[in-house]
Amino acid sequence: MTSPTRSGKTRRPLVLTAIVMAMFMAAIEATIVATAMPSIAAKLGGLSLYSWVFSSFLLMQAVTIPIYGKLADVFGRKLLFNTGIVIFLIASTLCGFAGSMMVLVVCRLGQGLGAGAIQPLAVTLIGDMYTLEERARVQGYVASVWGISAVLGPLAGALIVQYLPWAWVFWINVPFGLASIFLVSRYLHEHIEHRERSIDYAGAVLLLLALSSLMLALTQGSHWGVPAIALLVALAAGAFWMLLRQERWAADPVLHVELWRVRLIRLANLATLNAGVAMMGLIGFLPMFIQGVLHRSPVVAGLTLSMMSLGWPIASVIAGRALPRAGVPRLARSGGIALFAGSLIVALLGGYGPVAAASGSLLVGAGLGILNTTFIVTIQESVGWNQRGTATAMNILMRILGNALGAAVLGGVLNMALRRSIEAAGDSAGTSFATLQSLLEGTALPGAGTGALYEGFAAGLHGVFWTGVVFAGVVLVASWRIPHAQPAEPAPVQRPQTKAVTPGRKRDRGSHSVMGRSD
């Protein structure tokens, strides 16, 4: 173990400022790019690669999150956090110089490689710097960054492509990233005890293979067909099986399988995964429902969805303040109830108008905000420093996997309903989808020639929302069983050992950190 030294103290307010800027940079990137991509694609061409601009970022971010989490437990947070920001900034700069869609996709892979470090290590750093009571409040504030980015991102993207070269969609990240690196480098002081390290390279390769195969199946399966999905899922399953065998014997495993034996972590990750699916039911399909079924403008659709972005940060701040007094089980249940109730309102009452749909959206956002803050804080409290990065990254990975799974599953529900309506109408798929596009754009209303397709479209979206209710129900059940957090409870170790090992250290040859704290 190490002891704090007086040579340097962490300036928490300044480091927190750096964390907020880095998270804002990574969060707003998704919404800015989504708004600007039609204009970018028009200039670069290569529409066949349009979806890969988003999938490549999500894929690389997901597969690197657990790797960064583990490396941060070995080498410390500061080095990995700054490394992730540098990679993100280099890739962002190159994105602005992309001359084709293929080059842009490759650069987006680089952005995802950097973003995989930013979010989990930012959250982990907060866990390192603040006590439980402080951490709950601060995590609530930091969660509001995502809500703010969801509101500002689309507006910023629209303004940039209208008044500036599209490259500034990516270059806008540079000042935020440089300022964050400066503040972290100067005011974050980690005291690392250097020990003999044993890196689990085989486990890292197997983890990358498993997650890459799974993410490709979820994000590209609809384009590549059933045989490709089956092959990718089989490859992912085989890689996961080999990974579990590898991690049983690794001296310092990249994936701490024993963390899943901790009931709180297991249930929190299960709830987070299913909440990610339910979340995609709104993000991906509620605007489509407002425009295509209720025939309201894109502005109304955007305002309806923005209620979720409003409810999330408000609930996160409230949950952060209430957690020390209310306790983990009560807050987890409150979040599960809010998420389930909001999903149910959208499924039952959404057809009555945007106000009802917005109410459900607000409740879903509130539920997600409560659950996110509660789970992150309690997971970090339940493990020691040498597993905090891994445990935090694991929970964030579950949300990303849930989003990808939700896009695949809920998109499949809608596509099946549309196919049935097309077959019932005896129309060609091309003609039907052109008609559907006119419905979404508001240039045609359902009539004699479009009635069957319209009904199938509306029924498919209702099916999507009811599927979201099912996943929200799983969240409710899991959150209802969340136990009280056990502070600094070391994860159980069940692996062959040749000598006695201090509980919670588990042959750890990594580093430990004690931060000098100063407000």
What's the rounded Cα separation, in Å, for the pair 312 and 409? 24
Amino acid at 191: H
For the chain (519 residues), the mean pLDDT of every run of 10, in chain order, is 45 90 83 76 74 79 84 84 94 91 90 89 86 76 74 76 86 92 89 65 83 79 77 90 83 76 90 90 81 77 80 85 86 94 89 85 92 87 79 85 81 77 60 53 50 74 91 95 65 38 39 42
Give the per-residue pLDDT at 396: 85
**pLDDT score of 467:** 92
Q: List helix spans (H) across 164-262.
A: 168-171, 173-187, 201-224, 226-249
Separation CA 115–CA 68 (nearest Å): 10
Distances (CA, A) of 454 to 159, 425, 433, 468, 506: 34, 11, 11, 21, 59
The residues facing 517 across adjacent strands are 10
Contact yes or no for 388/515 (Cβ under 8 A):
no
One-letter amino acid of 278 = A
For residues 419 and 460, what is the distance between their CA atoms, to the nearest angstrom? Answer: 10
Strands 10-11 and 517-518 come out as: parallel
pTM of the model: 0.75
Q: How far apart are CA 40 and CA 454, in angstroms?
A: 31
CA 213 to chain centre: 18
Q: Which helix (H) or strand (E) covers residue 312, if one does? A: helix 298-326
> Cβ distance 313 to 323 under 8 Å?
no
State the helix-helix crossing angle for 354-381 and 132-163, rounded to 10 degrees: 130
